[in-house]
Structure 1
């Protein structure tokens, strides 16, 4: 199945999530724009079929390998791409967040109390810049979230010994330092 679900996120009532794995038969060994164009039709089918999500309700981040996390406004009929961002956040029901990762880490930060969530793209640069703890701070500022209430889920990503930098460890450490309890930070430990 091309979609993985994480038990920690599946346990949160009302939260729809999924991690789309590599899609057999879709060549992505081209520039980013062409790869995304090739993936879009299959991703749209997966969103609809496996997650029950209308692809038109999906927000995307431009993903510039930075630290910016943008709040997605509750609106319709607008371009649903947040330029210059590597993270997205919302507290609006029916708004869905999406990012693309290859070897970088997708990090979900979910507040089941305030019904808010963020999704960030964190690789070498984003992790060094602290994008995950920035999302914790943004959720506190914009939605009233408390770090102690958050559930954090990391996706599979590249790790040692396949890569010299253990940015998954950095993400876990930074989230804990931002006040997220260690037992609420989940990492499958899978290397891409």
Structure 2
């Protein structure tokens, strides 16, 4: 990832560096929120003041070149439900429960919120489609990454050639201690689970999502992994494991710039 400092600091991925695409991962800096939400909290369901969250979202959208009214986000359910965003449903997205957002339409900034779960960003260079997905361990077990790829292909008729994906900052295998009941949800987790210092299993969500992307047809060379642990870097990113409740949420966003309609 590359870091851009400014009023709203952002991390970006080299594989998405294109004039037609705007994307970024926010940090805790650059917003109005205070206390456990300081300062760029983008989550509206964690107890922060609505006016501050709205302003924070406006700042995030603006730094990526979009007005706030074109920022699309949904209530997350730790599942694999999809919303394909277009003119017919963008304004009503807040009534739809979905962890995967996809669009082929220019002018919409798709955003999901995170505090240890895995941000997944997608761009199909040939079909000019983009997506953002929220993958906690439940979503990872449900195949969020592969479902996103399959839906992009179904919507565009394009194959996997040209698909690029990025796995953003999230809790790493160094810190993601889980119980055996969680490991049991991943029968093919060999190499993605190891014993931690306390003798309990640690799960590698980065590797599990990378494998899912490869199985779905994304070339390994076109998958960029941030390898930044949010629990370790909780001064930069919100982390539920490190900060507990309440805590804010950082954002992962991507959109096709309005000036690049197909």
Distance change in 2, residues 1:82/1:182 (3 Å): farther
Count of matched residue pairs: 190
Q: Which has the larger radius of gyration?
A: 2
Q: When the two structures are superposed, what TM-score results if normalisation uses the length of structure 2?
A: 0.67
Q: Which of these residues, 47, 55, 59, is aligned with residue 45 of structure 1?
A: 59
Partner of 2:23: 17
Q: Which moved more, 1:140-149 or 1:118-127?
A: 140-149
Counterpart CA distance in 2 for 1:158 and 1:22 is: 16
Structure with the bigger RCO (C-alpha within 8 Å, sep 6+) is 2
Tell me, yes or no, if structure 1 residue 6 matches structure 2 residue 13.
yes
1:44 offset after TM fit, Å? Answer: 1.1
Q: SS of the counterpart of 1:32?
A: coil
Counterpart CA distance in 2 for 1:160 and 1:107 is: 17
Counterpart CA distance in 2 for 1:106 and 1:188 is: 10
| Contact kept in structure 1, 2:173 and 2:205, CA below 8 Å | no
Counterpart CA distance in 2 for 1:159 and 1:126 is: 16
Partner of 2:221: 183
Q: Which of these residues, 81, 94, 116, is aligned with residue 107 of structure 2?
A: 94
Counterpart CA distance in 2 for 1:74 and 1:80 is: 11
Tell me, yes or no, if structure 1 residue 110 matches structure 2 residue 88.
no
Q: Which has the higher helix share?
A: 1
Gaps of 5+ in 1: none
Tell me, yes or no, if structure 1 residue 26 matches structure 2 residue 34.
yes
1:77 offset after TM fit, Å? Answer: 7.8
Counterpart CA distance in 2 for 1:132 and 1:158 is: 17
Q: When the two structures are superposed, what TM-score results if normalisation uses the length of structure 1?
A: 0.90
Tell me, yes or no, if structure 1 residue 171 matches structure 2 residue 184.
no
CA RMSD of aligned residues (A): 2.1
1:23 offset after TM fit, Å? Answer: 2.7
Q: Which of these residues, 164, 168, 172, is aligned with residue 159 of structure 1?
A: 172
Q: Which moved more, 1:149-158 or 1:1-10?
A: 1-10
